[in-house]
Amino acid sequence: MSKVNQHISMLREDFNKGELLEVNLCKAPDLQFEQWMKEAIDAKVNEVPACNLATVDENNKPSARIIYLREFFDNEFYFYTNYNSRKANDIVKNPNVCLTFFWPELERQIRIEGIISGFASADKSDAYFNARPLDSKIGAWSSPQSCVLKGREELNKFVLDNKEKYQNSEIPRPAFWGGYIIKANYYEFWQGRKNRLHDRITFTFKNNHWQIERLAP
């Protein structure tokens, strides 16, 4: 066994920063999510909106990557990406997705399962794109996301070409770039507890209402 493997096999961290009890639980999952998101922001958790987006392709092969949540309300979660990316191609074949937030500073995790219900409106996608820094706008135009490149130089050339193209004009949102909406149908709120006896409370949308259950850790 390598020294690295020996080291990670010996790592032991206990959890003691909180508890999640039914008596303190919001009865609507989107409100519970908003409460925990606010507490993460107030605690200055690093990269609060960062989450893992998992997708599955037509061959039932999963893939996952870190994205940023940009908006949420009424159990809908928005993120933005290239419509030709690997995640986008997966979504075309299988709209079921999962988001996972992990905030180690609070010893909390949230899993959200749902279905891609559609694209963000053009107005929303335009508004978000227009709020991005200039170089991020150029980057959206310059990256053939998930495609194979000959090298970094090829990408750099795309960037330089687009900087020249748009040096004296507004940069429009590419037609191949915009937002997706995830409609949640399942949440799991996880709070680390001592001796690995964690709190896990789920909300599952069944028969037009949210069913709340506690899971064994």
The answer to whether 134 and 171 are in contact (CB under 8 A) is yes
DSSP 98-164: EEEEEETTTTEEEEEEEEEEEEPPHHHHHHHHHHS-HHHHHHHHH--TTS--S-HHHHHHHHHHHHH
The token pair at 191 is: 């709070």
DSSP 67-112: EE--EEETTEEEEEEETTSHHHHHHHH--EEEEEEEETTTTEEEEE
The answer to whether 145 and 84 are in contact (CB under 8 A) is yes
Locus of tokens 């820094």: 133
Which position among 111, 173, 196, 200 bears the catalytic label? 196
Q: What is residue 52's predicted lDDT score, i.e. its pLDDT?
A: 98
The answer to whether 122 and 178 are in contact (CB under 8 A) is yes
Q: What is residue 98's predicted lDDT score, i.e. its pLDDT?
A: 98
What does residue 155 show for φ and ψ, rounded to 5 degrees?
-65, -45
Q: What is residue 5's predicted lDDT score, i.e. its pLDDT?
A: 73
Q: What is residue 42's predicted lDDT score, i.e. its pLDDT?
A: 98
8-state DSSP, 21: -
Tell whether pTM > 0.75: yes
Q: Could you tell me whether strands 209-215 and 108-119 are parallel, antiparallel, or unpaired per DSSP bridges?
A: unpaired
| Residue 111 among the catalytic residues | no
Contacts of 188 (CB under 8 A, 6+ apart): 109, 110, 111, 200, 201, 202, 215
Per-residue pLDDT of the chain (217 residues; tens, 9 = 90+): 688 777 666 666 778 889 999 999 999 999 999 999 999 999 999 999 999 999 999 999 999 999 999 999 999 999 999 999 999 999 999 999 999 999 999 999 999 999 999 999 999 999 999 999 999 999 999 999 999 999 999 999 999 999 999 999 999 999 999 999 999 999 999 999 999 999 999 999 999 999 999 999 9
CATH number, domain 16-130+175-215:
2.30.110.10
